[in-house]
Amino acid sequence: MPIRNFTWSKITNTIFLLLIIVIYQSLFSNLLTIQQIKLDLPLLILVYVGLIYGPSSGAIFGFIEGLLLDLPTPFFLGAGALVKTAIGYLSGSVKDNLFLENILSKGGIIFLCVCLNDFWYYILTSGFDINYTFFVFFNYTILSALYTALAGLAIMWYKQIKRDKKITENFTRVYDR
């Protein structure tokens, strides 16, 4: 019985995260843009899923997310799914190979994943035009990756403060008896 509940919980969480991505992309992505430098919240969520659940879950989530994000541009349908599948798998496989308790290492992973995602996506969608890809990469991707990594660091810092506060409350509750 607990395994079945865990599976439904994981499916529910996945659907909830995908719903957040769709709502963000359709309503709020332009609000969080600073002079054409966008917060890549879908990729931030993808890296989070990869780091928490591992490479296979990251790859599956990346495929579904990439397919959803490719729907508005059917000419490039599949390019985002391919790239996001690889990024999900990569971020999940890093989970076991790096010391990820440090928040800065997670921020570095987010930065690297945004850079790799944009580089490979623009390579695929530009018809392997290296000049265009490097133009976009150096003018927009690096700043977008920095923006996304800083947002991810802020979220992780907030979560760590909440977790530390909860641990402190539990610790004081046990010793106050």
Number of domains into which the chain is organized: 1
Average pLDDT, whole number, for the chain? 87
CA-to-CA distance for 35 and 26, rounded, in angstroms?
A: 18
CB 86 within 8 A of CB 123: no
Domain that holds residue 154: 2-27+35-175
What percent of the chain is predicted at pLDDT more than 70?
90
Q: How confident is the model at residue 11 (pLDDT cuts 50, 70, 90)?
A: confident
**pLDDT tens column, 101-111:** 678 888 999 99
Q: Which two tokens stand for residue 150?
A: 């800083």
* CATH code where residue 171 lies: 1.10.1760
Q: Return the ∠ at Cα 153 (arms to 82 and 145), rounded to 5°.
A: 45
CA-to-CA distance for 162 and 126, rounded, in angstroms?
A: 43
CA-to-CA distance for 177 and 175, rounded, in angstroms?
A: 5
Cβ neighbours around 26 below 10 Å, total:
10
CB 91 within 8 A of CB 50: yes
Determine the pLDDT at residue 8. 67
**pLDDT tens column, 51-73:** 888 899 999 999 999 999 999 88
Determine the pLDDT at residue 2. 45
Any idea which residue has 């879908």 for tokens? 42
What percent of the chain is predicted at pLDDT more than 90?
51
Of 1-10, 63-72, 162-171, the one with minimum mean pLDDT is 1-10
